Amino acid sequence: MSEPDTIVVLYGGVSAEREVSLKSGEAIAAALAEKYPVELLRLDAAELPDSIDPERMIVFPALHGSFGEDGELQSLMEARGVEYCGSDAAASRVCMSKEVTKQLAKELGVQVPESMFFDGASAPLADDVIKQLGTSLVLKPTDQGSSVGLFFTEHRSALGVALCQIDSGNWMIERRIRGRELTVGLLDGRAMGVVEILSASGVYDYKAKYTLGATEYQFPAQLDAGITARIQREAEAIFKACGCRDFARIDFLLEGDVPYFLEVNTLPGLTATSLLPKSASCEGYDFPALADELVRPALSRFAAKGGAT
C-alpha cells in the first residue's frame, strides 16, 4: 500500500480562531507523530504553501474559521491534487453557513430554533426582531466558530445596542433555547458518544470554552437512551445531507425531550481535552487512537490514486 512521506499539519491561519488552531495543531501533530512522519506547518497567510507536494504528502488542516473551515483552503488543495483530511470544499462551504445547514436540517425533519438571517450592513430593527422571535435571543455570525461574536440578549435595549454595533458580515438571530448543551462527534459518518457541556456561567461562550475550570463536561451525557439514539441518528442524517466526510462534530440543545440542531463543525477543536476526543473516548478511543482514525480515510484516498511508495 502506497503511503505519503509526510503528514503536513497546517495550523494557525488568519481567522479570529487562530489561537485555538495553534493549540489544535500542536496536539494533533504530537499524537500523529507517534505513528507517522509529521511536519507541523504554521499558516500566517490565506494561501496554500508551495512546499506541499501532492505526490509525497497529505494534509491535516487543523484550522478553524475562515480559510480553514469555509472551503477556500480545501478548494486550493483540490486544485493542486493534494489529499487532505476532513470534508471536501463543497461540504465545508455548506457547513460554514449556519443558514444553509439549518435549512437542510429542517428538510430532514430535525428541530431547529426559530431564527432570522441578515447582512450586517442592513441590520434589522430591534422591534421587528422581537415581534418575530420574542425577547430572549441569541445573536451570532453565521460563518464563525468558537463562539466568536456571540451575544445573548433578554431586553429590547440590549438587542438594540448589539445591533447598532454590527455594520458588516453575515449574521443570525435565533430564539434562545434554554436547555442542555450537547454535542456529538462523528467518525466516517457514524455518531459516537454524546457529550454534555456544563458551563458554570450557564452560557457556553468563548470565555467558558477556553478558561480553565469554567466548564465541566459529562461524557457520555446522562440521557434517556431514546434521546441519545435520536441525537445520534439526527447527527448522522445531517452529516450525510451536508456531504461531510471523515469526521465532524455536531451541536445540539435539548429543551425538555426535544433536541434542537445548532451547527456542524467540520474541523472541530483537536486538543486532548476538546469535545470531539471526549465523544470518541465514549467509544474507547484515546487521543492517539482517535488521531489515527482521523487520518485513515485520507491515507486511503492517497493510496487509491497511486501516491508515493
Active site residues: 17, 146, 210, 249, 251, 263, 265, 269
Query: Which cell numbers hold the place of 264?
Result: 456542524
- The SS3 assignment for 39 reads strand
Label residue 26 left, alpha or beta by phi (over 0 means left) and psi (-120 to 50 means alpha): alpha
End-to-end CA distance of the chain: 7
Query: Which cell numbers hold the place of 302?
Result: 492517497
Pick from 255, 14, 248: nearest CA to 144:
14
Asked if 208 and 201 touch (Cβ cutoff 8 Å), the reply is: yes
Strand order through the sheet with 57-61: 38-43, 6-12, 57-61, 83-84
- Cis check for the bond before 297: say yes or no (omega within 30 of 0): no
